[in-house]
Amino acid sequence: YQAHLFDPEIHEKDKTLSELIRAVAVAGFAAGNIMLLSVSVWSGAEGPTRDLFHWLSGLIAIPALAFAGGIYFRSAANALRHGRMNMDVPIAVGVSLAYAMSLYETINHGEHAYFDASVSLLFFLLIGRTLDHVMRERARTAVNGLSRLAARGAVVLRDDGIREYVPVAELAPGMR
């Protein structure tokens, strides 16, 4: 086997993975805190207390949707700009509508708000996207490693009995 030197360009930090992990952290933090407020509402908080918890949930959800949801919003906008659809379009629409409906309910002192659903959905979808990215990167790394092990040439026996190394590009059918 040939030795391969460390190449910093090949092994540079995965920026997509870093972005996904930060997005998962933000969405998880927001989802956890919004769930704590939602449990209080589900446990019987009414009137001004319920409204306060809904407003706090809405305020916590804004940065989570902007930062963590930005991955889906950018992808959806890019797809729509090119006249295509992808899975991020319905996700972006659903999360946005859940937030908008919850905000409407909160403004009108409604009993139900779904800030927890929109942020939790983002959190779990981001976990899946992160795991998918990691698995694809591992597969890509394995394929690159295997391609490095591929033969670069072969020893060919010429007609005069001499063995000669020939690169793969120069090999032809019938060579021995």
Residue 170 maps to a domain: no
Q: Quick check: is 161 in a domain? A: no
Each residue's pLDDT expressed in tens, for the chain with a length of 176 residues:
566 555 555 556 789 999 999 999 999 999 999 999 998 888 888 889 999 999 999 999 999 999 999 999 999 999 999 999 999 999 999 999 999 999 999 999 988 899 999 999 999 999 999 999 999 999 988 888 888 888 888 899 888 888 989 888 888 888 87
Q: Which domain holds residue 20?
A: 15-149
> What is each CA distance from 172 to 75, 89, 147, 148, 158, in whole angstroms?
46, 50, 21, 22, 13
If one counts every other C-beta atom within 10 angstroms of the C-beta of residue 54, the result is 26
pTM of the model: 0.77
Tell me whether residue 173 is in a domain.
no
